[in-house]
Each structure stands twice: as C-alpha cells, then as structure tokens.
Amino acid sequence: MSNNVNNNAKRRYRSQDWFDNPERIDMTALYLERFMNYGITPEELRCGKPIIGIAQSGSDITPCNRIHLETVKRVRDGIRDAGGIPMEFPLHPIFENCRRPTAALDRNLAYLGLVEILHGYPIDAVVLTTGCDKTVPAQLMAAATVDIPAIVLSGGPMLDGWFEGELVGSGAAIWKARRQLAAGTIDEKKFVDIATASAPSAGHCNTMGTASTMNAVAEALGMSLTGCSAIPAPYRERGQMAYETGRRIVELAKDDVRPSQILTRDAFLDAIVVNAAIGGSSNAQPHIVAMARHAGVEITPEDWMEYGYDVPLLLNMQPAGKYLGERFHRAGGVPAVMWELEQAGKLRSQRLTVTGKTIAENIYARETDDREMIKPFAEPLKDTAGFLVLKGNLFDFAIMKTSVISPAFRARYLANPGHENCFECKVVVFDGSDDYHHRINDPSLGIDEYTMLVIRGAGPVGWPGSAEVVNMQPPDHLIKQGISNLPTLGDGRQSGTSDSPSILNASPESAAGGNLSLLRTGDVIRVDLNHGRCDVLLSDEDLEARRSDAPPMIPASQTPWQEIYRATVGQLHKGACMELALPYRGVGHDMP
Ligand code: FES
Ligand code: MG
C-alpha cells in the first residue's frame, strides 16, 4: 500500500459511508457496481481514497466557462496523481448576457443545486470551476454552506480584443459603441463588428467586469491557488494551474481544510479592499455580502466605507482604466495588486488560504514590473476607488462606484463652487427597462443635462433577480451633444463593465415597499456625496400622502422558480440571499 492509503486510513471520509459501510453491505454493493461502470474499481472506492467532486460550470449554454471542458481533464490528472478519485458533475448553467429575464435569478438556483449535490452524494471535497460572473459566488456560497474542502479553479479571461488598432474590451466596447450608434457616428454593421472583436477567444469577459472581479475576489479570499484568476483562458499556464488545483484539492481533503477556516471576516474585509484597488464591479457588493452571510460572517454597510472607500485605484484596466486581462496577468495579476496593498498595511495577511500558507506567504516578492498597469500605492490612478455608500429618504442603502467617475461627469455635476460633490436634479422615473426603452427618446419628457434618470421595479423582487439596467444611456439628442452620462439612480444593478457612476442597488427596492415606489417624474433629488446622502426634496408627510396611490406595476412570475425566488429572496444590501438557506451551515457533516 502506498503512503497515501496508509495516511488515509487514519481519516474516514464521508464517502466511505456509501462505499465502505460494513453495517450496510447491501447498499455498499449497490453503490459500488454503478461507479465501476466507468473504470473505478471497488478496491479504490473502499480503500479510503478521497472522492473529489468537480463542479463543471462550462457548457454550450455557458460559453464564458466552456474552457473548463478542457481544464477538467488536467484537474482529473492532478487528482489522480495525488491519490484521489475525480467525479465530475454539472452545475446549473449561468450565462450572464443571454439568460432572460436576468442571470441573477440563477445564482441562488445554482447555489441550491450545488448544495444538494455536495450534501447528498459521496463527495469528500470539491473543485469549483468558475468563470462568468455569478458562477463564482453561487459556488462559493454552496461551499460555505456545505463546508467540505473546496478550491476554486477560474477559467480565466479571453484574450485582449482589438479593433482598428485599439483595445476593445468585453462590455465596455459595447457601451461605447452603443453611444456612437445613437450619435450616428457608426452604423449597425460596425457596431456588431466592434462587439465581436471584443470577444476574440474562449474565456470570460476580458475587462474588470463582474467575472474578472469575482474571480479576483475568490483568489483574494484565499480560495484559489496563487495567481489563478488572471491567467487568460487560452494560455498554457491555465492548464498547469488546473493540474496543480487538482493535486491540491486532494491534500485539502486529506487535511480536512474547510471553507470555514478560510472564509473569515478578515478574508471578506480583504476582498473589499482588493475589489476597490482593482476598480472592481459594483456587483461585488451583493456577491461579497452573500458569500459572507453563507459563511456566517456579517458585512455591514459601514464596512464598505470603513475598509474599502478610501482604497486607491491601482489597476489600470477597463472600465476604470485602459487595459485588458492579458496585460493584467503579465503584470502579475492579483498577487501583485495584493503585494502593493500588503506593503501599505491594508491587508489582514496572516490568514490561511487553500495553498496551506498565509496570504503574506503567497504574495511574497510578487511586486509588479509593469508600473503602467499596476500603480504604486503612493501614486495611484485615483485616490479613492471604493464604493460610496448612500442613504436617504428614498432608500436605506445604495452604492456608487467612484472609480468610474469621469472628469466630464465631475466637472458637470460635482464641481459646484461652495457645494463640491453636491448637486440637485429633477427626475424622470421609469418603471422597469421596457418602459425606459419605450420612452427615453420621447421629447415630451424634457430630459436635459440636469435630469436624473431613475429606474425602479428592477430589484430582486421587482424584475425578478435584479436587472443590470441602472446605467441608463441618455436620450439620443443629448448624446449627439456629447453628454455620455446623466446621473442615474435605481433599485437594480448595472453591468460591471459599465463606466456609469450610477447610484444603484438601492434597498429596499420599490417592489418591496421602498420609498422609490413613491417617487414621481418632476420631483427634485439632492445628492450629497460628502455625507453619503440622496434625498428627494419632499417632506415625510408629502411622501406618506402618496402611499395610498397604487404601487408601480411589476411583471408577473413566468416560471415556478421565479415565484419561489421572489418569495425567498432578501434585498441587495443583504446580498439578495435566499434567506431561509442561511441557517443551513455545515450540512456536509450531517450525513444524509
Ligand atoms: Fe460571461 Fe461576461 S458575459 S463573463
Ligand atoms: Mg453582467
């Protein structure tokens, strides 16, 4: 017998309850015979090798993760070579830009499905294959709930996109080209050419959109091997990383290193810091909160301000900066950004990660040699890049992604002498994105450069799932005048690739009785970024008087899951979790 087997004999794996249970030899025989069908011997299954699940997130329907159809071959090699038995199974697909009404609906569904698989099948540890936005939090939420050893393998971003000699990044290129189309400077053919040029290979979005953000967050949390998240999908290092990840999960299984030892409050606070420094997606807010809550950690609105707000922007990557994923990887990826933050004393780096080492050990001597891409902490691209948390008489919580406030936006709205960072606008209110698309170019709305566009009915209950719609484009006549962003506010989210400094994720949402439901076109809103306030200029009495009006319409549920989702989901400031799932932590250790 090899050393592995001798060592394993000391630790009884949960899978042995299925395959090596002397009290239920009838059932053991039944379980054994099926798995032998694809080449696993009864001896292997009964000698105490750990069974390593591989959650396969790639498929034709989730093209951003399709690289994992290849990477898992190397994961399997690594698992086998380290003395484990791989068992691959599918994750419910989540494809960000195609799923209607919104992919956000599927984060909690994939979470639920994965919890059931990890709990109900003979799996001792799991490799989580991630890529497209919500495939990261869905799986980490499940790993936190089940709390068996787990490791993230990112699929990596696409190669950089180029069009007419310029970098074109996923999403970001489309937001820009959409404005050019509205202004009449490009035609539809060129619009499609730009969009397709921005997606030149396998992989997830190559900008610092939600996918790159959430994979970076997974690495910052300590849930993937060092340097994993930024390796572009087609690069040779991706296959090597897959192999090493396979080897490592077997060790994590043997040592019984669980997510609960890694997903601590310190880890989530560091994720908030890293997210700011990379100019990460505004979707990181609900996802970080959701992962934390499933791990038993509370992240408060104040935490975003205290730990994240004044972190400088270090990474020069679209949409907050210039470049794309290939250069980020070559510049050193997440470890190089964390090295800067560590030197500045911004991290809690003596915490455990899946490498078996601390963050400090993982990022030792990882300083970048590309100062155009990763700036020194003392000379950042922007001084403060964290989310600004706002509240007021319309909502209790919303965020603004400050890293994307452009000089033009700042000059028009935030540079009022004597009232710096404060402005007032009359509002035009849209009920959902169909209403916005129908009416945005209606001249009778009188939208000018001092109008704030408000969208409601776009939160977790309203849409349902919460739509990425708050980055509303101004009407065509303003775009033709060169106004590319108006102030916007909404109870939905926006794409992580958008450069719009919206006030978004407003909670509670209109459809859950939030005061946004009382707002009317023509009201005036005052925004005060110095004090984190956003208020409609109406008295409490005036607002209350409107409460007897019929609430804004929201669409009916179209599927059973939409109804279940709406009945169980919490608000965005609480991570839009399935609230009833939160007490079920550690269920991988209650044998089914
Ligand atoms: Fe899937 Fe961007 S749409 S990663
Ligand atoms: Mg998105």
CATH number of the domain that residue 498 is part of = 3.50.30.80
pLDDT given at position 5 = 38
**Does 336 lie in the same domain as 415?**
no
**Does 147 lie in the same domain as 96?**
yes
pLDDT given at position 6 = 40
pLDDT single digits (tens) 285-324: 999 999 999 999 999 999 999 999 999 999 999 999 999 9
pLDDT given at position 1 = 30
Residue 273 included in any domain = yes
**Does 391 lie in the same domain as 435?**
yes
The atom of ligand 1 lying closest to the CA of 95 is 1
User: Which pLDDT band holds residue 10 (cuts at 50, 70, 90)?
Assistant: low
Q: Please name which ligand lies nearest the alpha carbon of 133.
A: 1
pLDDT single digits (tens) 375-409: 999 999 999 999 999 999 999 999 998 888 999 99
Q: Please name which ligand lies nearest the alpha carbon of 465.
A: 2
Could you tell which of 64, 174, 283 is best to mutate to test the pocket of ligand 1, judged by most ligand atoms within 8 Å of the CB? 64
User: Of 309, 329, 363, which closes a domain?
Assistant: 363
Cβ neighbours around 501 below 10 Å, total: 24
**Does 474 lie in the same domain as 356?**
no
pLDDT single digits (tens) 172-217: 999 999 999 999 999 999 999 999 999 999 999 999 999 999 999 9
**Does 427 lie in the same domain as 530?**
yes
**Does 242 lie in the same domain as 114?**
yes
The atom of ligand 1 lying closest to the CA of 209 is 2
522: left (phi over 0), alpha (psi -120 to 50) or beta: left
Q: Is 96 a pocket residue for ligand 1 (Cβ < 6 Å)?
A: yes
Ligand 1 centroid to Cα of residue 386, in Å, is 23
**Does 250 lie in the same domain as 306?**
yes
* pLDDT exceeds cutoff 70 at 7: no
The atom of ligand 1 lying closest to the CA of 96 is 3
User: Which pLDDT band holds residue 42 (cuts at 50, 70, 90)?
Assistant: confident
Could you tell which of 62, 97, 207, 287 is best to mutate to test the pocket of ligand 1, judged by most ligand atoms within 8 Å of the CB? 97
In a 3-state reduction of DSSP, which class is residue 276?
helix
Ligand 1 centroid to Cα of residue 46, in Å, is 41
Burial class (CB in 10 A: 0-12, 13-18, 19+), 438: exposed
DSSP string, 150-194: EEEEE--BPPPEEETTEEE-TTHHHHHHHHHHHHTSS-HHHHHHH
Ligand 2 centroid to Cα of residue 301, in Å, is 22
Residue 129 included in any domain = yes
Q: Please name which ligand lies nearest the alpha carbon of 66.
A: 1
Ligand 2 centroid to Cα of residue 496, in Å, is 6
Low-confidence winner among 23-27, 93-97, 452-456 (lowest mean pLDDT): 23-27
pLDDT given at position 444 = 98
pLDDT given at position 404 = 85
Question: Quick one: which of 124, 119, 117 has its CA closest to 19?
Answer: 124
For the chain, the farthest-separated pair of C-alpha atoms sits apart, in whole angstroms, at 81
* pLDDT exceeds cutoff 50 at 139: yes
Low-confidence winner among 27-31, 108-112, 113-117, 490-494 (lowest mean pLDDT): 27-31
Predicted ipTM? Answer: 0.94
- Neighbouring residues of the ion ligand 2, judged by CB less than 5 Å: 96, 468, 495
Mean pLDDT of 437-444: 98
Domain count, the chain: 2
DSSP state of 204: B
User: Which residue segment(s) compose the domain that 548 sits in?
Assistant: 387-558
pLDDT single digits (tens) 142-152: 999 999 999 99
* pLDDT exceeds cutoff 90 at 243: yes
Ligand 2 centroid to Cα of residue 205, in Å, is 10
Residue having the nearest C-alpha atom to atom 2 of ligand 1: 205
Could you tell which of 65, 170, 201, 212 is best to mutate to test the pocket of ligand 1, judged by most ligand atoms within 8 Å of the CB? 170
Q: Is 204 a pocket residue for ligand 1 (Cβ < 6 Å)?
A: yes
Residue 113 included in any domain = yes
Mean pLDDT of 499-508: 94
* pLDDT exceeds cutoff 60 at 532: yes
Q: Is 205 a pocket residue for ligand 1 (Cβ < 6 Å)?
A: yes
**Does 330 lie in the same domain as 215?**
yes
Residue having the nearest C-alpha atom to atom 1 of ligand 1: 132
* Helices and strands in the chain: count of H runs, count of E runs: 23, 14
Ligand 2 centroid to Cα of residue 149, in Å, is 29
Residue 171 included in any domain = no
- Using CA atoms, how far residue 50 sits from 19, 44, 86, 250, 570, in Å, is 11, 10, 9, 7, 36
265: CATH = 3.40.50.2300
Q: Is 319 a pocket residue for ligand 1 (Cβ < 6 Å)?
A: no
User: Of 347, 363, 379, which closes a domain?
Assistant: 363
Percentage above 70 pLDDT, the chain:
98
Low-confidence winner among 34-48, 263-277, 417-431, 538-552 (lowest mean pLDDT): 34-48
Ligand 2 centroid to Cα of residue 467, in Å, is 9
The atom of ligand 1 lying closest to the CA of 131 is 4
Percentage above 90 pLDDT, the chain:
90
pLDDT given at position 4 = 38
Mean pLDDT of 512-523: 98
Average model confidence (pLDDT) across the chain: 95
What is d(CA 374, CA 369) in angstroms, rounded to the nearest whole number?
9
Q: Is 577 a pocket residue for ligand 1 (Cβ < 6 Å)?
A: no
Q: Is 170 a pocket residue for ligand 1 (Cβ < 6 Å)?
A: yes
In a 3-state reduction of DSSP, which class is residue 126?
strand
**Does 442 lie in the same domain as 530?**
yes
Residue 581 included in any domain = no
**Does 488 lie in the same domain as 359?**
no
Ligand 2 centroid to Cα of residue 96, in Å, is 6
Angle at 273 between CA 267 and CA 279, to 5 degrees: 130
* pLDDT exceeds cutoff 60 at 452: yes
What is d(CA 498, CA 207) in angstroms, rounded to the nearest whole number?
10
**Tokens coding 245:** 């990840």
pLDDT given at position 591 = 72
Q: Is 67 a pocket residue for ligand 1 (Cβ < 6 Å)?
A: no
Ligand 2 centroid to Cα of residue 469, in Å, is 10
Residue 118 included in any domain = yes
DSSP state of 412: I
Q: Which residue has the higher pLDDT, 472 or 48?
A: 472
Q: Is 211 a pocket residue for ligand 1 (Cβ < 6 Å)?
A: yes
* pLDDT exceeds cutoff 60 at 167: yes
**Does 136 lie in the same domain as 267?**
yes
Residue 376 included in any domain = no
Ligand 1 centroid to Cα of residue 158, in Å, is 10
Residue 587 included in any domain = no
What is d(CA 319, CA 301) in angstroms, rounded to the nearest whole number?
24
**Does 299 lie in the same domain as 351?**
yes
83: left (phi over 0), alpha (psi -120 to 50) or beta: left
* pLDDT exceeds cutoff 50 at 135: yes
